[in-house]
Chains A and B, each alone.
Chain A
Amino acid sequence: MSTEVPRVSIRGVVKRFGTLTVLDGLSFDVHRGEVVVLIGASGSGKTTLLRCINFLERYDDGEIRIDGELIGYQDPPAAGRLRTEREIARQRTRTGMVFQSYNLFPHLSVLQNVIEAPVHVLRQPHAEAEALAMQLLRRVGLEDKARERPARLSGGQQQRVAIARALAMRPEVLLLDEVTSALDPELVGEVLQAIKGLAEDGMTMVIVTHEMQFAREVAHRIVFLDGGRVVEEGPAKQLLNDPQTPRLQAFLRRFREGYLL
C-alpha cells in the first residue's frame, strides 16, 4: 500500500490571490478508494484547494498529481510552463466536481445535462451515453425526471443530478465542494445518502463539508486546514474524538457550541 502511487498527491501547494496567501504549502495524499474530508473555518483554503486539483484555479507553487500526472503544468514543473488548453481540459476529465450551487445547465433537460460531456468531450455514441446516464440517474433515484428541466427539480434533486453528471465522465476522483450547504435541511439527507453509496462502491473522493456527522460516517481520513496549511490529519473517528492540536480542539469546540455554520 505504501509503494502504490497515491490517487491524488498534493505537495507544498501555494496559492496567492494578490497579496493574500490562501494556500501556504499544503501537502497530503489521497489513496485509491479513499474518502478524505477537508474541514476548517471559512477562508482556510478548502474550496480553493479543491479548485486547484482540477485546475479551475492555478496554483502558484508546489505540485498536484493525479496518478502521478502533474496537473496544469508541464512536467518537469521547474519551468512553470502551463499545459495547453486542450491538455488541461483532458486532465479535467479525470476528476469530477460537484458544486455547492449545483450549476446544472438550465437550457438542457436532466438527461441532456448528464450526457452532454460524454457525448461532446469523450465523443461517446449518443445511445451508449444515454444508457449510462439512465443507469446513473437510477442510482441516484431520479430516472423518472430524465426529461425534466432542472428548474422544476428541488435543490436536493438537482444536486443528485449534478452527481450523476459528474459520474458520467467516469472520473478517477470525485471532488465535492460543500454540496449540501445550499440545501434546505430536509433535502440534505438524500444527497448524503447518494454520496455514502458512492463511498461504499469504492469511489475516491475529496469532500469539503460542514456536516461533521456525515464526515464521521463517510470519511476514511479527515484533514484539518487552517491558514492554508494542514494542521492535523488522521483517521476520521480518531481525529474527531481525540483532536491533538489546540487549533483543532478549538475548532471542534466552537463547532459543537454552534458558532460555526
Chain B
Amino acid sequence: MGFDIQYILRNLPLLLEGLRLTLIVSALGLLLAAPIGLAAALMRLRRGAAGRVVAAYVEAFRNTPLLIQLYVVYFGLPLIGLAGDPTVSGIVSLGLYHGAFLTEVFRAGLQAVSARQLEAASALGMRHRLAMRRIILPQALRLMLPALGNEFVLLVKNSSLLSTIAIVDLTMAGKLMAEQSGAVYEVFFAIGLMYLTVTTTAALLLRRAEWRLQIAE
C-alpha cells in the first residue's frame, strides 16, 4: 500500500483553491468578529440594560454549537427575505460566534489595564471617553493581540464547518477527493498538513507581532 503522492499533486489546484477559500472566509470572519467583540465589550463594561443584552448574547452564542448557529442563518434567513448565500451565511455565523468569545476576551483585557490608569487619567483632567481612547485602549489592544491571534486560529479551524453548507473550502475539497478516490490517507494527511501550516504560520506571525510591540514600548 504505497503512499500515492501523485494523486495529491495532481489535485493540488483543488486543494489550494479550498485553502484559499478557507483563508478568505476566516479573515472576513475575524474582520466581522473583532468589531462586534470590541463594541460588545465596551457595552458590557457599562452595566445597565446594554450590558445585560450583551451578556445574554455572549451566553447564548458560547453555549450553543456553531453548527446549529450556522444552520439557523443558512436555512432561516431565506425565510425572512434575506438571501441565503452560503458564503455570506458562513461569514456571518463565524463573526457572531467568535464575536461572543472575543467579547469576553476584550472585556478582560480592558479591565486588566488597571483601574488605576483610569484614576490617573481622571486626575489629569481627562474625561472618560478621552481616557479610554488615549490611555486604556492602546494598552488593552497590546494585551489583546495574542488573544486575537489565538481566536484567528480557532476561526480557521471552525471554518471547516462551512463545508456542511456546500462551501468548497479545504475540508470540503478533501472530503470530495476522499469520496472519489481510494487515497484517503493521502488526502487527510494533506489537508491536515495544510491546516497545521496555517495554524503554525498564524502562531509564528503572532509571536513576531507581539515581540515587535514590546520593542516599541
Judged by CB atoms under 8 Å, the answer to whether A and B touch is no
Question: B interface vs A, CB < 8 Å?
Answer: none
